[in-house]
Chains A and B, each alone.
Chain A
Amino acid sequence: MYVAVKGGEAAIDNAHRLLADRRRGNRDVADLGLDQIMEQLSLAVDRVMSEGALYDRELAALAIKQARGDLIEAIFLARAYRTTLPRFGYTQPVDTGRMQVERRISACFKDLPGGQLLGPTFDYTHRLLDPALAGGAAPETPEVREPDAAPMMRVSDFLGQEGLLEPAPDPADKPVPDDIARNPMSYPMDRDARLQALARGDEGFLLSMGYSTQRGYARSHPFAGEIRIGEVELEIAVPELDFAAPLGRIQVTECQMVNQFQGSAKAPPQFTCGYGLVFGQAERKSMAMALVDRALRATELGEDLTAPAQDEEFVIAHSDNVQATGFVEHLKLPHYVDFQSELNLVRQMRAEVEARGETHQEAAE
């Protein structure tokens, strides 16, 4: 039996109107400007950009405002918006070695060229709530100092010189990467496609997966080789120009995790890498991404598969919070007919059990 029903338009309209009212909240409180979100909730903006896989600060701020601060809803809005735009092409790969660095630290080397630059970090704060901030106290202007002119070599560059670090995958082996935004994912996948999925993956999920590797599920002895945050130049090759068109700069966070590796039949003992690269200032996400990237290289490096974080399909298929929320939240939608058939089935099974019970009883008597 199939019954088509219709209705609820008025209820939906009124619910949307109510949503708009509650989103605005008390009219005595000033309306929130996108500039305020971009300037003062900038790390929320960064998260929406990285997991929305769309770098546009103003759009991310609008999504956050529209979603009432529900970041997964905002990420959903960003993803939906990007499907409405044509794609002009692919940028040249960004050169993080030439980054305008705003923060750069290494947990491996104290005295690395260019030094440890803390930048605007939460580290070393005492995590005590600050009542002065609630009162709107104006902060001091930042201290300044003459910057170091020396180029800021990547830690991987000087570890690599000694041959102690595995070389990065050769671009010549795969000059054109897969694109999961274009083609459906299939497993097993190459590392480039995995990194694209991880870059847009849910921070909380990747954090938990990364954490699990530290707690002993696929132990990989990680060190934060280098984390750097800053702006990189983008350029794109276009047919009408004989040179790549400069586009401007975006802020990214890069994390290079260095992991001990015992060596195998194919490779000598050396350090291996997990890599994280994320839009905006997103240190935790980039670290988690690098840990998970390394764990997912288990097959490639001939390691035993023992832990969830090494299971490519499990990790990649469940890392996208837009997909996840879509499937979980669809359970709210009417399943009246499905449930009716379940109801009939359960009633029928109960009747059968009862009937059998009576026969058993009769037989016993």
Chain B
Amino acid sequence: MSTTEPDHQPRRDRMAVLARAEGRQLRELWGGLGIDPAFEMVRGPETGLATVRGRISGDGAPFNFGDVTVTRASVRLQDGAVGHAYRLGRDQGVARLCAVIDALADDTVMAATIDSQLVEPLRETLAARDRQRQAETAATKVDFFTLVRGED
């Protein structure tokens, strides 16, 4: 471990958006960027399982409660930059694309372009969906009001 621990948060956030993004929108935005780097596959794309863990009573000891399909891919660009991708589901093409994007973002300048033109629009789509669902759920909140307060 080096003493200057690199900040993984931007990369993690980007991967989180790429993992959740809908494949069609991701491909469209990627097409708009007009980038087509050469790369070699380091591993995959391959589809497998991750066993999902929960916690007893929500915050206690862990237990396994089922599997989920996961597709992963690792690529290397010509300049040696390596990218990885993990996504729920079985779309291998999109997982490979996500790994290429992750590798490209190794370069700071390219990362800025990717974040502003690809990741941000995807993030906004996901956030808008969350906001809509939260608002729909909030409308089903029960507002209690007191009918009668009795003494016996």
> Smallest Cβ distance from A55 to chain B, in angstroms?
4
B61 with A192: CB separation less than 8 A: yes
Q: How many chain B residues have a CB neighbour from A under 8 Å? A: 54
- Cα separation A348 to B88 with both chains bound (whole Å): 63
With a cutoff of 8 Å between Cβ atoms, the chain B residues found around residue A119 in the complex are: 137, 140
B58 with A177: CB separation less than 8 A: no
B52 with A170: CB separation less than 8 A: no
- Whether a CB of chain B sits under 8 angstroms from the CB of A362 is no
Cβ-neighbour of A168 out of B47, B59, B69, B90 (below 8 A)? B59
CB-nearest residue of chain B relative to A86? B48
- Whether a CB of chain A sits under 8 angstroms from the CB of B66 is yes
Interface residues of B in 44-58 (CB under 8 A from A): 46-58
> Smallest Cβ distance from A24 to chain B, in angstroms?
25
CB-nearest residue of chain A relative to B133? A102
Stretch of A126-134, A202-210, A248-256 at the chain-chain interface: A248-256
CB-nearest residue of chain B relative to A99? B58
> Smallest Cβ distance from A361 to chain B, in angstroms?
68
> Smallest Cβ distance from A194 to chain B, in angstroms?
9
Stretch of A90-98, A304-312, A319-327 at the chain-chain interface: A90-98
With a cutoff of 8 Å between Cβ atoms, the chain A residues found around residue B16 in the complex are: 233, 246
- Whether a CB of chain A sits under 8 angstroms from the CB of B38 is no
- Cα separation A255 to B138 with both chains bound (whole Å): 20
How many interface contacts (CB-CB < 8 Å) are there between A and B? 235
CB-nearest residue of chain A relative to B47? A85
- Cα separation A32 to B6 with both chains bound (whole Å): 51
B140 with A118: CB separation less than 8 A: yes
CB-nearest residue of chain B relative to A101? B137
> Smallest Cβ distance from A16 to chain B, in angstroms?
26
CB-nearest residue of chain A relative to B142? A116
CB-nearest residue of chain B relative to A54? B67
A300-341 to B contact mask, C-beta < 8 Å, 1/0: 000000000000000000000000000000000000000000
B57 with A145: CB separation less than 8 A: no
Contact A248 to B53, CB < 8 A, known contacts A53-B67, A181-B64:
no
With a cutoff of 8 Å between Cβ atoms, the chain B residues found around residue A245 in the complex are: 15, 19, 84, 86
- Cα separation A112 to B17 with both chains bound (whole Å): 32
> Smallest Cβ distance from B93 to chain A, in angstroms?
15
Contact A117 to B66, CB < 8 A, known contacts A91-B50, A248-B20:
no
Stretch of A5-13, A215-223, A273-281 at the chain-chain interface: A273-281
B1-24 to A contact mask, C-beta < 8 Å, 1/0: 000001010011001100110000
B86 with A177: CB separation less than 8 A: no
B68 with A234: CB separation less than 8 A: yes
- Whether a CB of chain A sits under 8 angstroms from the CB of B141 is yes
With a cutoff of 8 Å between Cβ atoms, the chain A residues found around residue B58 in the complex are: 96-97, 154, 156, 168, 254, 256, 275
With a cutoff of 8 Å between Cβ atoms, the chain B residues found around residue A200 in the complex are: 65-66
- Whether a CB of chain A sits under 8 angstroms from the CB of B139 is yes
- Whether a CB of chain B sits under 8 angstroms from the CB of A241 is yes
- Cα separation A243 to B48 with both chains bound (whole Å): 20
A107-122 to B contact mask, C-beta < 8 Å, 1/0: 0001100011111100
- Whether a CB of chain B sits under 8 angstroms from the CB of A236 is yes
CB-nearest residue of chain A relative to B21? A248
CB-nearest residue of chain A relative to B19? A248
With a cutoff of 8 Å between Cβ atoms, the chain B residues found around residue A54 in the complex are: 49, 66-69
With a cutoff of 8 Å between Cβ atoms, the chain A residues found around residue B89 in the complex are: 56, 58, 248
A-B contact pairs, 14 of them (CB 8 A): A53-B66, A54-B66, A82-B67, A90-B52, A91-B52, A94-B55, A103-B140, A144-B138, A156-B58, A168-B58, A181-B64, A242-B6, A248-B87, A273-B57
Give me the interface of B with A, judged by CB distance under 8 Å. Answer: 6, 8, 11-12, 15-16, 19-20, 46-70, 72, 74, 84, 86-90, 130, 132-142, 144
Closest CB pairs A-B (n = 8): A168-B60, A192-B63, A168-B57, A246-B16, A144-B135, A248-B88, A147-B138, A143-B139
Known A-B contacts: A88-B50, A234-B68. Give 12 more (CB < 8 A).
Answer: A49-B66, A55-B68, A82-B67, A86-B46, A96-B55, A100-B133, A103-B137, A147-B137, A177-B63, A236-B86, A245-B86, A247-B19
